[in-house]
Amino acid sequence: MPVTRERVDPIHTPDDLGLVHRRWILPDDAQRTVALPQLARLWRGLLDLGVLDTNQEVTLERMLLPAGEVSAQDLPAVASAGALLAGSGAASLVTQVVWTNEEGRRDPYAEAGESDPEGFRDYTLYAVDGGARLFLPLVPSRICCGGCGAWTLLEVTGFGEGALLDLARACPECGAALDLSRDKGELRTGARFLLEELVCCAALSIELLLEPAQEELPDAAVSDLLRACFGSYDELADDGVPAAT
């Protein structure tokens, strides 16, 4: 059964979110390893800074690799960082929805104390532990083999709002092994990228009602926290997408 994530606040939740903006933050090197303790410190840091709400539950979803069933449970926020440490050999995510008008809430996209835009923030941290899979935040509809040049449909295992790429995949046309440095993926927009620019072992997604004016996080403390975990990182924008479910 698919696992869905609901926004349950009876006061703030809009009746129809429609399409939203999602910002993906991920290491700028697909080969860079991000250990589970680093990710736990990142999530704990977001709680300590007031970006996340320590008084609300966090949802944990986990899929045992290579491709098992997805389990889900709600945890106290203070326990959620530690739960990431138990994700060895699995794909895991932790997620929480907060609102910018909540007292004491820190918005990484605020400018001069004003949120941009106002409304909800859906924070989800993804971790893939295991060498046979990588995470695709932006999922290509098809990929091009760098060996024979054939474009073929890409079958992936969905996880959260992204998917898991099987590194053992071979080109169905010529049998060549997957090569992140030469194979290309085509996104729903028609844009094409090398797979090494699209995959990662960890990512933070931030979902907002509208695209913020800033292309990069203006909050220095949150940026420093991300850099301590990911090293140098990229921010990928995905606009006009369905809200997380």
pLDDT digits (tens, 9 = 90+) for 177-215: 999 999 999 998 899 999 999 999 999 999 999 999 888
pLDDT at 245 over 80: no
CA separation for the pair 104, 183 (Å, rounded): 46
* Contacts of residue 82, Cβ cutoff 8 Å, sequence gap at least 6: 40
Which tokens hold the place of 185? 């993926």
- The answer to whether the beta carbons of residues 231 and 31 sit under 8 Å apart is no
CA separation for the pair 75, 115 (Å, rounded): 28
CA separation for the pair 103, 5 (Å, rounded): 24
pLDDT at 124 over 50: yes
Between 172 and 7, the more confident residue is 172
Mean pLDDT of all residues belonging to the chain: 90
According to the model, what pLDDT value does residue 4 have? 33
Residue 17 banded pLDDT, cuts 50, 70, 90? low
Which tokens hold the place of 32? 């860079």
CA separation for the pair 121, 131 (Å, rounded): 31
Whole-structure pTM value: 0.91
Model pLDDT for residues 41-87, shown as the tens digit of each residue: 999 999 999 999 999 999 999 999 987 789 999 999 999 999 999 99
Pairing relation of β-strands 192-194 and 184-186? antiparallel
CA separation for the pair 84, 94 (Å, rounded): 8
Positive or negative CA dihedral for 130, 132, 134, 136? Answer: negative
According to the model, what pLDDT value does residue 16 have? 53
CA separation for the pair 241, 17 (Å, rounded): 10
Q: What is the mean pLDDT of residues 222-231?
A: 97
Least confident of 8-12, 73-77, 88-92, 229-233: 8-12
